[in-house]
Structure 1
């Protein structure tokens, strides 16, 4: 038998925690001296203590811990719970990091307010182009929603085009269609020079744009906000009206995202 202090040290917990577990009936001492009230524990009780701490640290309440223990959870089941919790935490961390990057991007946009890059905006005609295409839905046009959709889409399109032995003849193109429910259809395209055929991707002619206001964005797309807003300001101040969402032409895509070069194209008409 071990005193409460020794048992706490063996279990790597505090005496206060053991007293609380006793009070709520989660882990009773093996023996309580009727005269002194001193609590004593058996080494075998470390097994239950280990499970209590492990399950609690996964984010369960103590009441939920009691229910799980009553179902006599096995070590294998605990490992499964850990794997699930790890996946949840990793997803949460990823979402939090994306949110922080979004805030940083928004701050950069705020810092550039009033410094319009008018000289960098070019009006031009965009010719139709034959493309291989895959599409998927994003929850919204928010960069944090687009980013986890567009990259896997291009990765899969490249894989399928390579497997079909179709040659890519130009820069990647992304375009977007707003849906009535607020979601956005994301379209990933690669220029090709083949006829439509029995491929596991769509081959079609992406329509040209008679008049496109264009600007070059340097750097990662998560920081594109300031460039988009500069283009929008130019469109409004020069008496044009934007028609639909932008196309993004990936002119240079090295591994270092800071070195990316992307042309933004927005179809415009005179007011």
Structure 2
């Protein structure tokens, strides 16, 4: 048998915790010295201790843990419950990291207010033919858009290659508000005749007579600040937006994200 201190060390828990489990009836000592009151445990009780800790980590209260233990949950079922909890925790961590990235992006936007300047070029943009796939994002938040557009581009690349085609220019993305959120269009420039059936859409984006364009450098999770600076420039220079902006990925997806280059094209007009 093991003293309560040794059993706590072997079970990687505290003595205080073992005393608490004893008081609740979750894990009684194998023997209690009637004269000293010292608690002693057997090695076989480590199995029950492991189950108590595992069930606690699943988010169960100690009262619920006691009920589950009375039902004698087997190792396989317990393992399945732990796998499910692990998946839930991983999803929670991923969501928290995405929120942290969004907070950092907002902080950068606030820090650059009235400080950063951008070089905006107003120019005409020629029409372009795209092979594209689209999907729905919950909102315009960078992490929501990214979660949709990345798999769209991966799948579009596979389908274009399967069709024996090669992109003729950089990727072009654009976004449309819809009732469900945002429709994300992921396109690659291609040279093909209309009317031929493919497992992707073929879209002709019209020419833009006047577009306020700016170069964004870096990953797209920081593009919000560039969009806001562009919006300020448009307003201060007497323009107004007239359509859906396009993102042209001039250098994107390879190497250090700090070196990625995207051109934002915002259709504008200057009222008379």
Q: TM-score, normalised by structure 1?
A: 0.90
Q: Which stretch of structure 1 is more off in the superposition, 52-61 or 157-166?
A: 52-61
Structure 2 partner of 1:69:
69
SS in 2 for 1:135: strand
Aligned match of 2:156:
157
Aligned-residue offset at 1:95: 2.2
Q: CA RMSD in A?
A: 2.0
Cα distance in structure 1, aligned partners of 2:142 and 2:51 = 41
Q: Size of the alignment, in residue pairs?
A: 269
Q: Which range moved further: 196-205 or 135-144?
A: 196-205
- What is the CA deviation profile of residues 62-102 of structure 1, one whole-angstrom value per residue up to 9, with x for unaligned ones? 23322332332232333323332332222222222222222
Match of 1:127 in 2: 126
Aligned equivalent of 2:26 = 26
Structure 1 unmatched runs, 5+: none
Q: 1:116/1:6 Cα in 2 relative to 1: closer, same or farther (>3 Å)?
A: closer
What's the CA shift string for 1:29-87, capped at 9, x where partnerless?
Answer: 23344554433333221110111122223433323322332332232333323332332
Is 1:189 matched up with 2:187?
yes
* Contact 1:197-1:203 at 8 Å conserved across structures: no
Aligned-partner Cα distance in 1 for 2:32–2:214: 78
Q: Name structure 2 gaps, 5 residues minimum.
A: none
CA distance in 1, matches of 2:53, 2:37: 25
2: CA distance between counterparts of 1:88 and 1:40? 37
Distance (Å, rounded) in 2 between the aligned partners of 1:86 and 1:235: 48
Moved more, 105-114 or 156-165: 105-114
Shift of 1:15: 1.6
1:141–1:184 Cα contact (<8 Å) kept: yes
| Conserved? CA contact 1:168–1:192, under 8 Å | yes
Check conservation: 1:2, 1:41, Cα contact below 8 A: yes
Q: CA deviation at 1:10?
A: 2.7
Deviation of 1:247 after TM superposition, in Å, equals: 1.2
SS at match of 2:167: coil
Check the 8 A contact 1:218/1:259 in 2, yes or no. Answer: yes
